[in-house]
Chain A
Amino acid sequence: MQKAFLVDGSICLGCNTCAMACKNQYHQDQNVTWRKVREIGAEDYLIDNNNILPTLTSYQKAPKVSMPMERFYFSLACNHCENPACVAICPVGAHTKDPETGICKHDQSICIGCGGCVKACPFGASKFNTKMGRAEKCSMCWERQEEGKTTACVQSCPVHAITIIDLHDPKYKALRSDPIGIDYAIDAETKPSTRFIHPFMPKEIYRQAKG
């Protein structure tokens, strides 16, 4: 099994309820947000103030798209990669990959705050909490899932634009792994598990003539 987020950019409203539910669930400190609702067409990866720049891994730019400002989004947190860079680099085993669910977990009680994962992750999923002096990230609410609940983000989305799927289920095979309009390490060696449904503009659009 490889649990994964499926984010639907065609219905996402950009309301940020998922990111706020995540922040609320884990009482994330000011300036730390594990989940980020990223605006399509507006580059913000390189100026992500929550994160040290991922300088150790090269990343590719996703195809540019011309979308109206502040209208289309992908909600992203940890991509729960099949070959996670955080697990590989962590010197103390604070990052682990659950063999059963494929969830990449981080245990802050073991973390020594070396920041290796923050630099190694091509997606900036690991955040450095300056107050705690340790890293932290989305662990797909694995404790909630063990109790039979879903993740805070999935539960909170008012239009079901985020769901959790099993990537090894053949029916999800055709889903896209490449987002559009945001900087994202497409085809990263870490094999990110997040899947995307691309947004589209309304079929008919009329705007006032110029002049």
Chain B
Amino acid sequence: MFNSIGYTTRLAGTPCWPAGIDAQNLDMGDMWCNDPEEMKDSKFIILWGVNPAANSIHSMKYIYEAKRKGAKVVVIDPIFTETASKSSQYVQIKTGTDGLLALGMAKIIIDAKLHDQKWLDANSKGYKEYKAYLDKEVKLDDVSKITGIPLAMIKELALSFAKAKPATIWMGYGMQRHTNGGSMIRAIDALVALSGNIGKYAGGARYGHLNTWGFNYAALSQTKPEGSVGYSGPEGAKGEFAQVGGEKAAYTDRFLNINKTARELINSKEPKVRLLWVACKNVFAQDFDRNQLIRAFQQLDLVVVADQFFNETAKWADIVLPVTTQFEEYDVNVSYWHYWLSINEQAIKPLFEIKSDLEIAAMLSKRMNQLQAGSCTFPQSVDSKEMTIKEFNPAIYEQFGIQSWEELKKGPVKAKAVIPFADGKFKTPSGKFEFYSDKAQELFGSALPKYLEVRKPYDKFRMTSPHSRWSLHSQFQNLEWMEDFHPEPYVYINPDDAEAKMVSSDDMVAVFNRQGVLRLRAKVTDNVQKGTVLMYEQYYHNSIYNVNELVDDTSSDMGAFKTGAPGVALHDTFVNFKKL
């Protein structure tokens, strides 16, 4: 809709996975993971900073199958996660040192001559420089000291990973939400590459993919009204789904960093942002530094929130537009992880006066054109089924081996099997896997995946705020229904830290830092390591609990290259706590 009224201010980027997307694009020219179902045939799986037992439950059956067939499943994580409890080996690492561990493992593998020289010769660029860096700068004693893992254990892990074929590493998104996050993903990519596991069935450096997303994006593609004037700043990526078109336009939208929403809204001048339209997002749940966000919202003249739920952002709105659920609409579904495609058919007609985002746009377009003809180019009536059909094209049909979208009514279909990079064609400038990346040098000041120290503490305890198994961001936990299964939030504290503060399980504690304060019940557990407190990112139906009260908006190292803005280092938040 906003594409059809002229040029506007947009919040660009993503809080999800941007640093890792950049890292993978620098190394391989794409983010393109192997089919997760292949993991059943992997011989060695490292789940690195990822917790599928809570957050990708549908992937666990493949991991279990691999394990049943004799594969070793190693979990490297600062937290003893649900996944760690079901692994063959759990290795607790000091937070933010994963990149160094990967570099150390690489050095051990090369020293033992277990690297895949043949693959490296044919498919990589800069291996020599990378090896020289490992030889000169990476000292194994330091690796052990900084990661907090005994050297013998690192050696054993590195060698057994290198000997198993195929072996794979699945990297979590939490790991790149650090000030050195992108560099850590690059270091792990390099480890997988030198072991010869890239381009192999059941191998791969798994992070995600957008390989099955070749839709038409018809609703987005609107022409500007005649005479529209915009911003003449440089054009760049706007998000992971909206890459640069190529041609240089006279005007563009103005882009603000989505990971600094509060700060950017307050600071944007000429013109000042006066109206904020929020759709498909619960800003107050997901954006950082809640107290600054309140100030930002107070400065706006008008806030419109289109949402399925009356959430906290809706409470701050001047106008709330209830939108339809997936049960009331046609839609199409693909994944950034698996390779299936399915159609979502309308189950019931929309209830009451509820409208889809598209219908809202159409109705607004109709009214705007009544007031001033030609002021909005968006269609003045839409049908969600027709809009869904418009998304399909021959390339999608070819990829999924179907003739028509109608076939999807019989059930989901899977994309034709393909092993990413098996043909040795990488989309990097050199066409090879780049240990040494000129682009990385230009954008981030380091051509090699070098060890970068993580953010220094600014308070007593590190606070980590991973995703819980009860919710998907601000969704699901907000349902009253969920209270029967998981009624309230907790802060998880290591027994040593709890003892020092005389806190026991079920005590009420205040967790605070320079951003804000939260009051909640404690659980004392050595699932979290000493010096770290854990609170899940969750939003309850009848509670003001919001972990972003405490999270500041410090950027991670990467993200600006492919998503338009750096990610956010939300796991580099520091807090203190006391018993209430």
Contacts and interface: CB of A to CB of B under 8 A. Distances in A.
A and B co-occur in one complex: yes
Interface string B500-534: 00000000000000000000000101110110000
A107 to B, nearest CB: 24
A36 to B, nearest CB: 9
Interface string A4-21: 000000010111110110
Interface stretch (B88-96, B108-116, B381-389): B88-96
Contact of B526 (A11, A33, A207): A207
Nearest to A72: B85
B87 interface: yes
Interface in A85-120: none
B378 to A, nearest CB: 38
A147 B266 CA distance: 61
B218 to A, nearest CB: 34
Contact of B91 (A14, A17, A72, A206): A206
Interface stretch (B202-210, B245-253, B451-459, B479-487): B479-487
Interface in A137-183: 158-160
A46 B346 CA distance: 45
Nearest to B476: A20
A16 B485 contact: yes
B530 A13 contact: no
Nearest to B148: A208
A13 B148 contact: no
Interface residues of A, number: 32
B327 to A, nearest CB: 14
Contacts of B153: 206
B64 A159 contact: yes
A72 B60 CA distance: 15
Identify whether the interface residues of B are mostly helix, strand, loop, or mixed.
mixed
Contacts of B483: 30
Contact of B90 (A14, A23, A202): A202
B90 A208 contact: no
A159 B61 contact: yes
A63 interface: no
B254 interface: no
Nearest to A205: B90
Nearest to B61: A159
B496 interface: yes
A131 interface: no
Contacts, number: 96
Given A201-B85, A204-B89, A69 B484 contact: no
A72 B525 CA distance: 14
B151 interface: no
Contacts of B90: 202, 204-206
A30 B484 contact: yes
Contacts of A19: 485
B60 A13 contact: yes
B485 A202 contact: no
A130 interface: no
B89 A202 contact: yes
B296 interface: no
B439 interface: no
Contacts of B279: none
Nearest to A71: B85
Contact of A68 (B60, B485, B526): B526
A186 B381 CA distance: 65
Contacts of A132: none
Contacts of B527: 68-71
A197 to B, nearest CB: 13
Nearest to B496: A210
Nearest to B94: A208
B53 interface: yes
Contacts of B525: 68-70
A184 to B, nearest CB: 20
Interface string A192-211: 00000000011111111110
B15 to A, nearest CB: 24
A55 interface: no
Contacts of B492: 69
Contacts of A205: 80, 89-90
Nearest to B81: A71
B22 to A, nearest CB: 30
A205 B527 CA distance: 12
A203 B86 CA distance: 10
Contacts of A15: 53-54, 57, 469
Interface in B462-476: 469-470
A193 B485 CA distance: 25
A209 B480 contact: no
Contacts of B84: 202
A54 B520 CA distance: 31
Contacts of A202: 84-90
A10 to B, nearest CB: 8
A71 B91 contact: no
B315 interface: no
Contacts of B529: 207-208
B58 interface: yes
Contacts of B58: 158
Contacts of B129: none
B88 A206 contact: no
B82 interface: yes
Contact of A30 (B61, B470, B480): B480
Contacts of B530: 208, 210
Nearest to A201: B85
A69 to B, nearest CB: 4
A25 interface: no
Interface of B: 53-54, 57-58, 60-61, 64, 80, 82, 84-94, 148-150, 153, 469-470, 480-481, 483-486, 492, 496, 523, 525-527, 529-530
22 contacts: A11-B64, A13-B54, A13-B82, A14-B469, A15-B54, A15-B57, A17-B57, A23-B481, A68-B80, A68-B526, A69-B492, A71-B85, A71-B527, A72-B85, A158-B61, A159-B60, A160-B61, A202-B84, A202-B88, A206-B90, A208-B92, A208-B530
Given A15-B54, A32-B484, A201-B85, 20 more contacts: A11-B64, A13-B53, A15-B57, A17-B57, A68-B80, A68-B85, A69-B523, A69-B527, A71-B85, A72-B85, A158-B57, A159-B57, A159-B60, A202-B89, A205-B89, A206-B89, A206-B90, A206-B150, A208-B94, A209-B148
